[in-house]
Amino acid sequence: MSSVIVMQLRYAFRLYPDTGQQTALAKAFGCARVVFNDAVRAREDARKAEQPFPKAAELSTRLITEAKRTAERSWLSEVSAVVLQQSLRDAESAYRNFFASLKGTRKGPKIGPPRFKSRKDKRQSIRFTANARWNITDSGRLNLPKIGAVKVKWSRTLPTPPTSVTVIKDTAGRYFASFVIDTDPAADAERMPETDRTIGIDLGLTHFAVLSDGTKIDSPRFLRRAEKKLKKAQQELSRKQKGSKNRAKARLKVARAHAKVADARREFHHQLSTKLISENQGIAVEDLSVAGLARTKLAKSVHDAGWSSFISMLEYKAERYGRTLVKIGRFEPTSQTCSTCGVKDGPKPLNVREWACTACGTVHDRDINAALNVKTAAGLAVSACGAPVRPGAIPAQREETGSHGFPTESRAA
């Protein structure tokens, strides 16, 4: 009996709660934060006393059930119990990730132990699972327990019924509902047009991407274009007295300006990645050291391009739609090798945009030549007889499947 492969994605939509619902959400955010901090404090107290860590069931009883009966924590009853339970699970997950990082079994950089959440944190979130009895009404509103039916701006239809929803208030003061959706990659792949095209991509700063077919995609430079407005907003913030209402308004103005830049960049990445996945069966990209480049004088331009986010989108969309994505090593000399004869012609300064191969005399556009070499190094190029130049590519794999690692498929403005 064959097992069905299920892929989880997040679909995010803008929420517009009224004044009363915003107050109810603020209570839920605060209660979730308090329960999380109580769980971290209980763990830390046990560690300092050299006692075993309390179990999840014990923490649930002590920090939620019994706490509601006390005068100091009686207001926990004003929000959904599921929100509080999910906050406890978040604390447990944070500790598991920390210990896995210490043991070296968790991918990615080392992470520290969970820290207390502050009421001054501008980003807040709560999560409702299926047993919270939330639902989407016939009129298209999101009905949440002890909050009410919240207005939603639906930018697209959900492909399948969601399994959970996370309500988020971002640093710009906007509210979003993030739904977890189970998708079937096999069914999604059938919706993609059949193609045998393959492409190599050379990512850069002058052009965001240059394709091996000669297409050059300009870099929108969203941050650079908004710098003047951001600078003015930041200067206004710095002049406001700390703790004043005017400073809070100025901070919100800065956050909204940055959110506008981030949203525009994300939309650009989504449109381009979807187009490339739709038109090509195989895609090759270079595994860039973004963290290293971000420590150079090009840091602002590197962050503005958002290469990591773009490649992550290519990865999950390739897996979802049955395409092949290959990442080649970052030390592959794609800019030094002639894509015609394969002779390595040595390193060249960045101001050299065209060069002629000393062996065969072919004149190359630096970026197009690099994209062709990326495609060849990935094994997606074919020889004159139709055989692959190098061994075939392997399907892309996602590295993280935790709830916070789900890629966001769509987001309403």
Active site residues: 202, 286, 367
Q: Are strands 124-129 and 164-169 parallel, antiparallel or unpaired?
A: antiparallel
**Residue 377 and residue 390 in contact, taking contact as beta carbons nearer than 8 Å:** yes
Alpha-carbon span 277 to 275, nearest angstrom = 6
Alpha-carbon span 355 to 363, nearest angstrom = 6
Q: Within a 10 A sphere around the Cβ of 131, how many other Cβ atoms?
A: 10
Residues in a beta bridge with 218: 207
**Residue 348 and residue 336 in contact, taking contact as beta carbons nearer than 8 Å:** yes
Among candidates 110, 334, 321, 294, which has minimal Cα distance to 203? Answer: 334
Among candidates 48, 51, 84, which has minimal Cα distance to 66? Answer: 84
Among candidates 59, 169, 94, 57, which has minimal Cα distance to 124? Answer: 169
DSSP conformation class of 134: -
**Residue 166 and residue 177 in contact, taking contact as beta carbons nearer than 8 Å:** yes
Beta strand extents in 37-133 (DSSP E only):
124-129
Alpha-carbon span 279 to 33, nearest angstrom = 45
DSSP conformation class of 337: B
Among candidates 306, 291, 296, 309, which has minimal Cα distance to 350? Answer: 296
Helix (H) or strand (E) holding 73: none
Q: How far apart are the first and last CA of the chain?
A: 44
Helix (H) or strand (E) holding 103: helix 81-103
The first and second tokens of residue 118, run together, are 């502050």
With a CB cutoff of 8 Å and minimum separation 6, the contacts of 277 are 192, 283, 314, 317, 318, 321, 323
Alpha-carbon span 56 to 83, nearest angstrom = 15
**Residue 86 and residue 64 in contact, taking contact as beta carbons nearer than 8 Å:** no
